[in-house]
Amino acid sequence: MSVKRIIVIVLVLVVVAVVAVASMIPITSERARRAVIAELSERLDSTVELESFEMRLLPRLSASGRGLAVHHHGRTDVPPLLAIRQFAVSGGFIQLLRGHVNQVTVEGLDIMIPPKERRDHQEDAAREEDKDKRDKPKQDDPPTKRDGSAMGSMVIDRLESLDARVTILKSDPKKSPKVWAIHRLNMRSVGDQSMPFEALLTNAVPPGEIATEGTFGPWDREEPGRTPLGGTFWFDRADLSVFKGISGILSSAGSFEGALARLDVDGQTDTPDFTVEVGGHPVALHTTYSATVDGTNGDTILNRIDASFLKTSLVAKGRVVDTTPGQPGRMVKLDVAIAGGRIEDVLLLAVKSTRPLVGALSLQTSLIIPPGDRDVVEKLKLDGRFTMTDAHFTNVDVSQKITALSQRARGKTPDADEKQVGSDFAGQFKLDGGKLTIPAVAFDVPGAGVRLAGYYNLKQEDMDFRGALLTDAKVSQMTTGWKSWLLKVLDPLFGRDGGGSSIPIKVTGTRKAPSFGLDTSRVFSRDQNVPKL
């Protein structure tokens, strides 16, 4: 539409306004509604529906409409690409002639983005249709020329959207679509260019409000996922108790840069009261992260996470992806490493008692959290190895027994004044369904070693471990006097290659009332099933 044609239309409307708009009565016109439909259909290369449309000329030029729907490339067998419940446009005559609209307000905006493979099919069909049109031009329609300097480059100075929703459909119909609720969106200089924006979104899980600002566009019609996007965000007071088994109030801030289908995100989180229910002890958790997010489906690659709590730090990397058809939520898969951490910090998260064991900790494990409405501890899966050095039990009685064991295992008389010995642990572990299985663990003190295998239930706090106590001394050398003479008969029974003893033992009971003792069922077995690391 040329500038000259616009001027003619405006003059006609001014004449009509003398009669029809003197009392601010809106002008409704079926011809105007059809003209809007034709204009949008050509610009968007789509089928457009518009229930109603009206205009006012005073006190300034304005227009409003209801029931706008845009079917991309004419597809009516799927939901419309864009739907608007109602809209209002206002501006001045001079600004309009310069290619500017002052204000557009939209309520109830729904954007439905099909999966990538469907978009590819639609684009291929559209290209074929365009080719047919070029090959067979209509003879009865003279070619028209669009004015690219005015209406062809229309810019909306301010756009305000209320209660918008962006839905990203999945290629698998069994998978729930990704829905973003955008309460408020303000954009400036909206057109075929980079557009500044401010928005307030609702995050579903964990629930909370995300405030963001940045730039968006220009929109890539051929592939929306390539549309540039960048800015900063703030996520405050997110309640983690929505995940069963943990709690805490999280806040986050960061920045993002890239395109809609591939955003590089860097940020940090703080949760001052992070709590795992099975342990019940809140700790201050801080993380920094670098991730790559696919904005068209929500899948996330976690390039690196650095987390710290108390005196322990960990590093993780992995993915958060939608892998379960028909089930909401996403699968978390991470590789986690702790180097130079503290065992008491980790136990504080998982055990109700405080500091049962202290010492240095190193750990490597895979971590999987599948989706589902279950306690995090019940669905958490771990598979890894750990080492603890110079570990000490905080219970005085247990610590004294460990020290006495070390002394006896070396053939020495227990001395209460001797400095308490530190213990070294190493082992493998698996956690599944809230049950910690340890196929092999080694516990060493000077002169003795314990080799065990078994399980520990995190919620019930019961255990069953079987293995062997390995000592440098013979059984008879672990005591003195007449007891030593009586025990000489047992030396061959418990003797092991290379000297010393191998005594079958078991650890059963509960965390509060453990039972340590001789495993009599294996006393006369030559194969005492010592777990191998």
What digits encode the pLDDT tens for the residues 131-154? 554 455 544 444 443 433 333 467
What are the angstrom distances between the C-alpha of 293 and each of 89, 134, 224, 260?
Answer: 35, 39, 15, 9
∠ CA 84-88-94 to the nearest 5 degrees? 135
pLDDT in tens, 315-352: 999 998 877 655 667 789 999 999 989 988 988 888 87
**Predicted pLDDT of residue 141:** 44
Nearest alpha-carbon partner for 210 in 179, 243, 251, 248: 251
CA-to-CA dists, residue 281 to 272, 274, 318, 439, angstroms: 12, 8, 27, 28
What is the average pLDDT across 84-108? 85
What does DSSP say about strands 208-216 and 195-203: parallel, antiparallel, or unpaired? antiparallel
User: What SS3 class is residue 171?
Assistant: coil
Strands 435-445 and 448-457: antiparallel
Q: Above 50 in pLDDT, residue 17?
A: no
Cα three-residue angle 269-263-338, rounded to 5 degrees: 40
CA distance 462 to 139: 87
Measure the CA–CA gap between 46 and 82, rounded to whole angstroms.
Answer: 10
Residue 477 CB contacts under 8 Å (≥ 6 apart), including other chains: 411, 484
pLDDT for 437 equals: 93
Distances from the Cα of 532 to the Cα of 46, 119, 453, 503, 522, angstroms: 68, 55, 9, 16, 17
Nearest in space to 389 (alpha carbons), one of 334, 426, 437 = 426
Looking at residues 511-533, what average pLDDT do you find?
72
Q: Are 292 and 262 in contact (CB under 8 A)?
A: yes
What the block records as the tokens of 446 is: 């000077």
